[in-house]
Structure 1
Amino acid sequence: MLSYRILLSLAAPGLALLLLRDRPFARERLGLSGAANGPGRVQQPAIWLHGASNGELASARPLIERLLARRPDLCIVATSNSRTGRALVESWALPRVSARLAPYDYRWALRLFIGRWQPRALILIESELWPNRIFEMARRDRPVLLLGARLSARSAARWQRMPALARRLTGAIAYLSAQDPASMDRFATLGLPPERRGPVIDLKAFAPAARPDADDLKALAPLLPRARTLLAASTHEGEEAPILEAFARRWRADPQARLVLAPRHPRRAAQIAALIERAGLGHALRSNGGLPGSERPVLLADTMGEMALWYALAGVSFIGGSLVDKGGHTPFEPAAAGSAILHGPHVANFTAVYGALDRAGAAEGVAGADGLSAALAALDGAEQTRRAACAREVLAGLRAEAPGPDTLIDALEGLMGAPAPTPPAEKEPGNG
């Protein structure tokens, strides 16, 4: 724990610079949002729910909505590490839900935040293992739940190099529901007691499909013929070069072919633009309002929050994080949008789901430019439609068999207690 505190101390100057650049949200980062007295005062008991950014918070929305419906006595403060995640929660306009940027993981900032919001429990989504956040809640006997938990083999190996901290961390988690069996096994190896392990539930399976902006969809659809458009979704470094090589072959065979390249981290846009040029392809830049065309068959989607639009426009989606060892990203979103799914060999984050899709012929695994090129050549419009329909059927079956968000809310209520019963209203005195 001492080493973690040293790391936080070393990071302090950099965080101070970030606060200067992000002044409108500095108070939130310092735990000063939601004043203890005044307009920001919490009127109802609160649940603190935290997700890193858009993907994690979107997956938690069904859980949030069910919790609000079942517990009218509660409100929720949903925190995120990113402005886009904060904006996403605000856009839902859900009653009794407040969106904030997460306080930094310094004990003093967390104590300020907890003091103002007085959360009765902390729900962490996926892989947000911030030690001080967890310990500050646990030491107040307020349960910490980790839902949709994901722990890669690489992350588990790092925690195993700090066994004392790992045991203390898992000991502070009151309940954990993993996204996949492998993650649950890794948490168990780190010391999570059996009685604190819940069922394996992938929250993304229950998240509603995001809707694209109707005006953007209408404007771009004529420029991106769906059956001829490939989306490379959430790509990581090392993936764009083989994708561009495969697409260049496809474009030479069919000049009407188009590629939407949406990197996981838009800040890499300049690097990716150089790769596009090296592949002999022209491109348009989404952030500049550029439009694809015959001379610019690649649209570099260097923006955030528009993935639903790209899935809606693409007949085929290659899911990133799977050609390189990042575990792969979700297949639920492209399936919901009716886009046929291709992926690489590294899908550890969704092993069971991709396995079911591949066995049913609803998705296809490829390795490198040659495999992707061959798969694209075989995916005409009719085959895209068939695979997309098959994928929706497979995923619907998986959802029907799995425990849902109510199972997790049952666990939360068991840990923090059900609301006190409302006393019956007194009867008006009669006249007789």
Structure 2
Amino acid sequence: MRLYQLILTLLFPVLLARLWLRDSAPDRAERLARGTSERSSGAVWVHGASNGELTSAKSLILQLSRHGPVLVTCNNPTGRALVQGWGFDGVTVQLAPLDLPRVLDRFIAQNAPRGLVVIENEIWPNRIDAMARRGLPVMVVSARLSQGSARNWARLSGLARHILGAIRLLSAQDAGSEDRFRSLGLSADAIAPRLNLKTTLLPDPPDAGDLAALSPVLARDKTVLAASTHPGEDEIILQGFKLALQQDPDLRLILAPRHPKRREAITRLLTEEGLTFAARSLIPRPAPDTQVYLADTLGEMGLWYSLAGTTFVGGSLVDHGGHTPFEPAAFGCAILHGPYYSNFSDTYDRLRTENASTLVQTPDEIAAALLRSPKTQAAIGEAAHDLLQDQNAAKTLDLLVDQITELCPNGQ
């Protein structure tokens, strides 16, 4: 632990320089716990990295807020804006403090949190140690630990035991993650029922007007969504789509990159590929002969899932661990994915075993999947929906909220 603290202390000038170049003055102050951010004394502190983790924790945060104030922290301004947009009573949000002892001391003194709830794998040693030293409970929900991360932690076995020994409650996403946490030193007494928070997330329904306007030009059985794509994936997807177009010119593609700021790069790629396209941010309703609709906006994934009978899940043709299959499954989409899905390995393995998803790696395989009959497409989507509709998730979430509030009694 001391070595970790020493390294961070030595790196502090570098961290400060990055903050100075990247952040506004108010944001820098927030990260250093010197700002005038809205405070929430006596709150349960919930930390999630960014939009994905926070969105999955939306139901958890809402339920916790019914038992007392909640302070949410995240790593970037987009996550902060997301939580602010929910408008939950009793929930405040700010940028997370740097994982430095003095910064954390100020943050804890300012906010007096009753406990810390970590979402997924945001395990920062100083943060956890600072809470535990004060006798404040640390809990991890929807915890995820890949084999690679476990090997890295094992090289720092002393630090791992110290940090995991401070955790009072841990609910893992899957059996593999739970076993890896235990092998690194997590107490059996800290194990809580497993829950993947993404199974508790009900996707926002699409705007009825947008759905009615786009359905005539984006027929569900002819439309494929490439969701949350990363650089290196778009090229493969577009090549497969072009092959399928040769046999079925009525096919349409909705391309939704993980980061909408990549619009210019993707526009150049679409031009090079000779495909007709339109960007959502510029053209609310594409022409009927538009082959690719570039979804370069935020907050409309429910609309895209509703329009697409087939969804390719990004982050899986390149090694980003694969993104969530739960959202497309909730909309009954036939799921395509690449070979890299370590973030949800158990779930994708179940989908493949039950013929409820399709592994694709090459343009030819993508084209073959896009040319399946509407009946086959619908059957695969229905199988995914039924397989991932976890009826026990809501009950498990209720149980975890009870355990968290018991560990973090509201003294107000």
TM-score, length-scaled by structure 1: 0.85
Aligned to 1:210: 204
2:203 matched to 1:199?
no
Q: Determine whether 1:386 maps to 2:379.
A: yes
Q: 1:426 maps to which residue?
A: none
**Deviation, structure 1 residue 86:** 2.0
Determine whether 1:64 maps to 2:61.
yes
- CA distance 1:321–1:144, change in 2 (3 Å): same
- 2:402 is aligned, of 406, 410, 415, to 410
Cα 1:10–1:25, aligned 2, differ >3 Å: closer, same or farther?
Answer: closer
Which residue does 2:148 correspond to in 1?
A: 154
Report SS of the residue matched to 2:371.
Answer: helix
Query: Which is worse superposed, 140-149 or 181-190?
Result: 181-190
TM superposition shift of 1:130: 2.3
Q: Is the aligned partner of 1:11 residue 2:15?
A: yes
Shift in alpha-carbon separation, 1:182–1:279, aligned structure 2, 3 A: farther
1:296 shift after superposition:
4.2
Q: CA deviation digits over 1:155-191, x for unaligned, max 9? A: 3333333333333322332221111222222323333
Verify: 1:395 aligned to 2:392, yes or no.
no
Query: Do structure 1's residue 363 and structure 2's residue 357 form an aligned pair?
Result: yes
Match of 1:243 in 2: 237
Change (3 A) 1:107 1:371: same
Q: What is the CA–CA distance in structure 2 between the aligned matches of 1:255 and 1:293, rounded to whole Å?
A: 15
Aligned partners of 2:200 and 2:394 also within 8 Å: no
Q: For residues 343 and 298 of structure 1, what CA distance do their matches in structure 2 show?
A: 19
Equivalent-residue separation in structure 2 for 1:258 and 1:24 (angstroms): 44
Structure 2: any 5+ residue segments left out of the alignment?
Answer: none
How far apart, in 2, do the equivalents of 1:42 and 1:345 lie?
44
Q: Deviations over 1:327-359 (max 9, x none)?
A: 221111112223221222332322332233333
1:158-197, aligned counterparts within 5 Å? 158-197=152-191
Q: Distance in 1 between matches of 2:36 and 2:114?
A: 15
Aligned length: 408
The structure with more radius of gyration: 1
The equivalent residue for 2:220 is: 226
1:240–1:355 distance in 2 versus 1, CA, 3 Å: same
What is the deviation of 1:321?
Answer: 1.8
Q: 1:131 to 1:272 in 2, by over 3 A?
A: farther
Instruction: Name the amino acid aligned to 1:46.
Output: A
Mapped contact 1:33–1:116 kept (Cα < 8 A)? no
Listed one character per residue, the Cα deviations across residues 164-222 of structure 1 (whole Å, up to 9, x for unaligned) are 33333223322211112222223233332322222321111111222334444344333
Q: Which residue of 287, 294, 307 corresponds with 1:313?
A: 307
Post-superposition offset of 1:6: 2.9
Match of 2:338 among 327, 331, 344: 344
Match of 1:134 among 128, 134, 147: 128
**Alignment equivalent of 1:31, drawn from 6, 15, 33:** 33
One-letter code aligned to 2:215: A
For the Cα contact (< 8 Å) 2:200–2:393, is it kept in 1?
no
Match of 1:427 in 2: none
1:60 is displaced (CA, Å) by: 1.2
Partner of 1:325: 319
Structure-2 separation of matches of 1:201 and 1:222 = 39
Q: Are the equivalent residues in 1 in contact too, given 2:20–2:28 (CA < 8 A)?
A: no
Structure 2 CA distance, aligned partners of 1:23 and 1:313? 42
Q: Distance in 1 between matches of 2:95 and 2:283?
A: 29
Q: Is the 8 A contact 1:283 1:299 kept in 2?
A: yes
User: 1:42-71 deviations in whole A, cap 9, x for unaligned?
Assistant: 46x3101111122211211222233334x2
| SS of match in other structure, 1:11 | helix
Residues in 1 aligned to 2:110 and 2:331: alpha-carbon distance in whole angstroms: 41
Take 2:299 and 2:179, find their aligned partners in 1: how far apart are those partners? 33
Aligned CA-pair RMSD: 2.6
Query: Is the 2:26–2:35 Cα contact (8 Å) retained in structure 1?
Result: no
Percent of paired sites with the same residue: 45
Structure 1, gaps ≥5 residues long: 423-432
Structure 2 counterpart of 1:387, one-letter code: I
Distance 2:325 2:45 in 1: 28
Measured in 2, the distance between the counterparts of 1:18 and 1:352 equals 37
Q: Report Cα offsets for 1:78-126 as digits up to 9, x if no partner.
A: 1222333222222322221112222333333332222222111011111
